[in-house]
Structure 1
Amino acid sequence: MERARILILTASIGSGHTRAAEAIRAALAAHPQAEDVQVDVVDFMAREVSMIHYLMKRIYLTMLRFVPDLYDVFFRIAGKNASGGIVRGAFAQVMMRTVGRMIQAYKPDLVVATHPFPEGAAALWRGRHGGSFALAALLTDYALHAIWLVRGVDLYFVATDAMATAMAARGFDPCAVYATGIPITRTSQLMERQAAQETVGLQGDLPTLLLMGGGLGLGGMDRTLAALETVEQRLAILVAAGHNAALEAHASALARTSRHDIRVFSYTDQIPALMRAADLLITKPGGLTISEAFAAGLPLLLHDPIPGPETENAIYATRCGAAVWLHSGERMAPAVEEILAHRIPEMRRAARDCACEDAAQRVAEILMESLTRRRGAAYGAKKDV
């Protein structure tokens, strides 16, 4: 029997969808039957894949930067059952042709989507043109959204049991929905704080803050740095600037004059080590970022969520006790001082209680079992003929 092919379709809107895709790829590569499977990961929004998709991504990112309230309206409209189907259908129509090219090029036995756009487009293409490939969707936030809920998807992976229950209440087959947690890469998760601090270049034992704004370095991190300058206690501050060159330059300049020990990192694969080195993460509430913090037992101070999914993520992490949500008008410095002085141990315990370190491995195992069953059934049918 030929090697099976798995095509993972992601979207480089932020970095969470891509990080989830890479975590699944790594878990599949470590699976005992890895030699029987070829895995490809494709960025559905890359310029070389589709110029139209790439331009749509640029418009989306511009909208987030300049008119976030407009995105809030879009999210709320798309989140309604009827409207969600209309929005999803419109994007699927635009993107279906690109998905068709990929299906014909890769000839996958299984397609896994870590973003709703390729999920909807693949479901529409299969509905119109047929095809024997299975389709799985992996949700990368801590709340359901109607734009993800496509009839005909074979497998769903969600973050929590509550999400799986909510999908069953909407008529989805409970046997096709798995509450695995959000997949994260396991690299350095077991590193102790002291070793992690040495890895990222810290010395001494200063209270350590990690500032993140996703792969794009969003979330007003320059304002956060200014606010932290008013904290009387000397701090070590790790700034993960992502692809934001202006933020990287600003933070590097501030590091030369600040009384805090500021270390600046551009886009890096050292996030697990940075999280293990920190006492508190100050960030926008992206689903992957929160999941990685949970795995590291790292308390969160959340601010400036993108309206919609990140707001729901902030609600979830706060209710679990692993995060404090800094709302508009509340001051950063007093919140940091209060958390460092009184709340770190309890928030660490709450974060660890929420962790799903093996989510990627669980997803890989379920995907491989499903693929084996489907290929076995297809092979048996051919023999009968």
Structure 2
Amino acid sequence: MSGGNPIPGWYFPGWRHALLAAICMVAAGAVQASEAQPRGTEIGIATANIAWTPPSDMAATFEEIRQSGFTSVRIGLKEPRARAYAAFAAAKQAGLGIVVTVPLIDGAVATKDATPRAKAGSFFPAYGLSQIDLERLRARIDDLLAYAADAQIDLLGIELGNEINWSGYNGDLPLVAGGNVIERADGLPNRFIAGLDLYGRAISLVRERLAADAAFKNVTLVTAGLADINAGFIKHSNATYIAPDVMEEALAARGIYQAAGAVGIHLYEPLRRANKGDRRTLIEQQLDSCGAPAFAGRPCWITEFGSALAPTACPVTDPRDDLLQPLLAHLARAGDAVPRAYYYDWNADKGFALERCGKLSDLVHDLAPTTLQ
């Protein structure tokens, strides 16, 4: 949901000082709530497109996140690369650890003669996994690691790719009238299969680059968080979407989970108000394989989860709280199976934002980690 074109941000410079003061009170409340109900999963904030925001807004956002009690953020390695590195430095300055998402479809690691799928409607031009140039990927990862070492970035993890199971972030999946939801392995397009094979090689490459330097022995390699989208949206947007269970089986069959350190998960559908299913059951279905044989014993990192309101909504009491409670209850007992989860978003996405109309949602009380840094 978050890894492509920038989403217009919500920034309210005139409210910053008052907001920061309010954050201190929110953070104190978060500590009390967390001490009453400790949980194993540490929650951070997904700020995927923050590199495209003005430096002053970027710094203010990271400071708000830190003062609210969060200790890490997820940031996309976007072009121009210098802007992304500036975002990493700003996060470090705020005392935040970083999970870096490395896009695979923006052309930065595509073969030089590759042509992206053309822009169509709300879909930006996208390269496919089948067009990855492994040498360009190696150079990009080496440059990232060199910067992280030189700048002493607290690099927690590298997530390779983002939502590679739908047309939004994989040019190998075509746009088709009426959309296409693929729910069987025998329905996977040949070009997509070739891309998935190449993705397996890319995962192995990144694993090798991390292992080459002892300084990165604690950096977790995370598979791309998979899109979690309802069929109605896919059909309306004319996209191709591979159901996560089909995608997970395809990744497992290629030994990709064994090569990675954690399995990326995006979790949205159980948190939609319109979804009338049993939320607890839906959540368990998505997370029960975490740390289990189906995922080669690997834990899950939920690199995105969230729930949306109307873009202009500024409720006194956030109605999303009841939607999130089943997930928070699951995470409270998940232990090492789900050590990290990242809420999308802080202030950039008007629907999902925790900061609304210059004020923090009371959801921050439930989400902030136990210990402030």
Name the TM-score, length of structure 2 as normaliser: 0.31
Instruction: Name the larger-Rg structure.
Output: 1
Whichever structure has more helix as a proportion of its residues is 1
Name the TM-score, length of structure 1 as normaliser: 0.30
